[in-house]
Amino acid sequence: MASFSSGISNSGGGLMTRENLAYAAGIVDGEGCIGIFRRVNRQAFRTHITVAMCELAVPEFLFQIFGGSLSKHERLFRPNAREQYVWLVAAQKAAECARAILPYLRIKQAQAENLIELQEINQKIRAATTTQRAERGGGLRLKGNSKSLPII
């Protein structure tokens, strides 16, 4: 897997038109994955939205609108297969993307709603955990002889 920067500004700016959001929703409905995974040994969930295609144009378009990451995957175990370009947004960016395309989704609407809800729960868990650490007077514990870092 190789990550690369396409030199594109991914601010979203004027690209968040209804037409582009509807197109993005169609791509996610047909070619995308709205993923929700339980984190190992944690209460929270990991959320992401991905689209993988052999042509760069569509993943690059999604990157322009929503940001995230854009990477190239070579198919090592299938020597005749073409490389894939993968667009990915995770966590809060995935929830923002899901909110934006939700009105236009037809097939994966329930998955997008679940992702949004779980990301809100993740934010509450994160806030509670940060508050508990601050109340204990501790920061982030490092392994070894290092001291704890204060929470900023």
How far apart are the C-alpha atoms of 84 and 81, rounded to whole Å? 9
The whole model's pTM is what?
A: 0.77
How far apart are the C-alpha atoms of 36 and 53, rounded to whole Å? 21
Q: Does residue 7 lie in a domain region?
A: yes
Q: Does residue 80 lie in a domain region?
A: yes
CATH number at 13 reads 3.10.28.10
Please report the pLDDT score of residue 148 as a whole number: 45
Number of structural domains (the chain) is 1
Please report the pLDDT score of residue 3 as a whole number: 52
Q: Does residue 145 lie in a domain region?
A: no
Q: Does residue 17 lie in a domain region?
A: yes
Please report the pLDDT score of residue 135 as a whole number: 74
Q: Does residue 147 lie in a domain region?
A: no
Q: Does residue 84 lie in a domain region?
A: yes
In whole angstroms, how far apart are CA 49 and each of 63, 76, 79, 134? 12, 24, 27, 32
Expressed as residue numbers, the domain containing 57 is 2-136
Q: Does residue 6 lie in a domain region?
A: yes
First to last CA, the chain: 34
Q: Does residue 146 lie in a domain region?
A: no
pLDDT in tens, the chain (152 residues): 555 444 334 556 689 999 999 999 999 999 999 999 888 877 678 999 999 999 999 999 999 999 999 999 987 788 888 999 999 999 999 999 999 999 999 999 999 999 999 999 888 888 888 777 777 765 555 455 444 444 54
